[in-house]
């Protein structure tokens, strides 16, 4: 039997549930999805409390992603905003814009799924929710920057936070380029 995974855009009312998803240990509890939003020096100087406060402020004024629930329990998160909301994407040799890239596609940059809820379809539901979230906010193109475990099966769960090529392919994304053997830039045009 498959649990139904329900997603919704985050906002001020979902903050406590988002804290449950990020937890207090591991990479998510330290990053709070700020890696792509800060300069390297600001990132290096930031504490866990700083990055948590930054995401909290972003959630209070907008909706930088979607949360997933199973039977009301918060189980996952996906970050999705316009490319321009993530300054570090423009600096990365993997994700920086190239000639012919869309002006300001929306970017799915991170998935967090609580350990005990993995392998239950949460990431797939989060990606579908991220597409809906972006569409409702006027996006016409959404990108992802997944890893390819088919090329390197030894990728750890922590290295898969971008999502996987198969996850994005199954959601209708196409590979537009391969900046490295294990990484892909994938894109999907949204229907209106």
Q: How far apart are alpha carbons 120 and 151 in whole angstroms? A: 23
27, burial (CB in 10 Å: exposed 0-12, middle 13-18, buried 19+): middle
What pTM was estimated for this model as a whole?
0.94
Q: What is the pLDDT of residue 113?
A: 94
Average pLDDT over the chain, rounded to an integer: 92
Rounded CA separation 190/181 (Å)? 27
Cα dihedral 56, 131, 144, 155 sign = positive
HSE (CB half, 13 Å, CA atoms) of 32? 22
Sign of the CA dihedral running 129, 134, 138, 140 = negative
Which tens digit of pLDDT belongs to each residue from 21-59? 998 887 787 788 889 999 889 999 999 999 999 999 999
Q: Is the dihedral of CA 132, 135, 139, 141 positive or negative?
A: positive
Name the pLDDT band for 103 (thresholds 50, 70, 90).
confident
Is the pLDDT confidence value at 73 over 80? Answer: yes
CATH number of the domain that residue 153 is part of: 3.40.630.30
Question: 2: pLDDT confidence band, cut at 50, 70 and 90?
Answer: low
Per cent of the chain over pLDDT 90 is: 75
The answer to whether residues 80 and 127 touch, using CB atoms and an 8 Å cutoff, is no
Report pLDDT digits (tens) over 107-144. 999 999 999 999 999 999 999 999 999 999 999 999 99
- What's the CA gap between 72 and 170, in Å, rounded? 26
The count of structural domains within the chain is: 1
State mean pLDDT over 61-87: 95
Report yes or no: 155 and 191 within 8 Å, Cβ to Cβ: no
Range of the domain at 58: 5-189
Which helix (H) or strand (E) is 144 found in, with range? strand 141-144
The arithmetic mean of pLDDT across residues 165-177, rounded, is 96
């Amino acid at each position: 039997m498959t649990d139904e995974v329900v997603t919704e855009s985050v906002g001020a009312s979902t903050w406590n549930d988002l804290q449950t998803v990020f937890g207090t240990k591991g990479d998510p509890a330290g990053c709070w999805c700020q890696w792509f939003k800060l300069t390297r020096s600001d990132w290096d100087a930031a504490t866990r409390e700083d990055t948590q406060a930054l995401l909290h402020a972003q959630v209070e004024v907008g909706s930088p992603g979607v949360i997933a629930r199973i039977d009301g329990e918060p189980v996952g998160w996906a970050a999705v905003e316009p490319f321009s909301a993530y300054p570090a994407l423009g600096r990365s040799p993997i994700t920086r814009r190239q000639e012919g890239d869309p002006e300001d596609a929306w970017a799915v940059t991170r998935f967090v799924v609580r350990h005990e809820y993995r392998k239950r379809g949460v990431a797939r539901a989060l990606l579908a929710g991220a597409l809906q979230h972006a569409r409702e906010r006027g996006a016409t193109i959404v990108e992802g920057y997944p890893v390819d475990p088919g090329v390197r099966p030894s990728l750890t769960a922590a290295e898969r936070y971008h999502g996987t090529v198969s996850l994005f392919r199954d959601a209708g994304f196409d590979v537009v380029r391969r900046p490295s053997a294990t990484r892909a830039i994938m894109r999907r045009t949204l229907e209106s």
